[in-house]
Amino acid sequence: MTLVMVHRDERDVAWLTLDRPDVRNAFNAELIADLAAAADALHAEPPRAVVLSGNGPSFSAGADLNWMRSAKDLSQAENLADAQATGAMFHALDTLPCAVIGRVHGHAMGGGVGLVAVCDMVVADVETVFGFSEVQLGIAPAVISPFVVRKIGRSHARALFVSGERFDATWAEHIGLVHMVVDAEDLDGMVDAVITKVLSAGPTAIAVAKRLPDVALAPMAQAREQTAAIIAELRAGAEAQEGMAAFLEKRTPRWAPGAP
């Protein structure tokens, strides 16, 4: 992988860092393929958490316009396959069975906001600029829309999609796109605090918990049946038994940092 730096640290946290700093980590076919490959590898061997970030002055400026312009030379079938590959990459990141933490700074535009949307928890530099600028280029945020709408809702998505206006980190927090807004010098410290919190929780519990919002929105009878089955299986499992024992014995559970 040449455009995504992958590092798995001693805590079993995987760091995925977009590495096209000269173009503000704009997407091209290679970057998309590298992100997809990284996500697939993490599905095969899940870490305790993933941190998604960007090297250089920005998180991601969205699609590389030179790459997008080259689409005119592709057939309809080739353009469709290209878009489907991009959607598959977002889906692979969205469905990782662990907490995905966004470390966002500089700019998150277009597809860059799509990456923000697939993160479970997002920490953003207060100076970050966001936007769905696609309509100003004569296109639309189509591939990322399923992920963004699920994150911020139809009303905010429609307003921001059709206006193409830029918005700040405070507004991004207000609409639920990001969760913590901090000064630049506090960004890494807050990301580390989120990692610490995630590592204190059971990894199986996290993998299940991040699916619950979708399960809960199923028709009521189906949601009740599925959620009852989920908790019944979890609480009888080894992880839950260890967690409850640790709480009652006033000790650190075996999965947490610092456990004996």
- For the chain, the structural domain boundaries read 4-198, 202-248
Strands 99-104 and 129-131: unpaired
Angle at which helices 238-248 and 220-235 cross, to 10°: 70
Tokens representing residue 43 in the block: 């599905």
Tokens representing residue 230 in the block: 């989920």
CA atoms within 13 Å, Cβ hemisphere of 32? 23
Strands 121-125 and 180-182: parallel
The whole-model pTM stands at: 0.95
pLDDT at 73: 75
Helix (H, G, I), strand (E, B) or coil at 12: coil
- The per-residue pLDDT of the chain, averaged, comes to 95
Query: Which has the closest alpha carbon to 116: 44, 31, 180?
Result: 180
Confidence tier at 1 by pLDDT (50, 70, 90): low
Tens digits of residue pLDDT in 172-198: 999 999 999 999 999 999 999 999 999
Tens digits of residue pLDDT in 109-164: 999 999 999 999 999 999 999 999 999 999 999 999 999 999 999 999 999 999 99
Which of these CATH numbers, 3.30.365.10, 3.90.226.10, 3.40.50.2300, 3.40.50.300, describes 4-198? 3.90.226.10
What distance in Å separates the CA atoms of residue 172 and residue 138, rounded to the nearest whole number? Answer: 24
Instruction: Answer whether 121's CB lies under 8 Å from 194's CB.
Output: yes
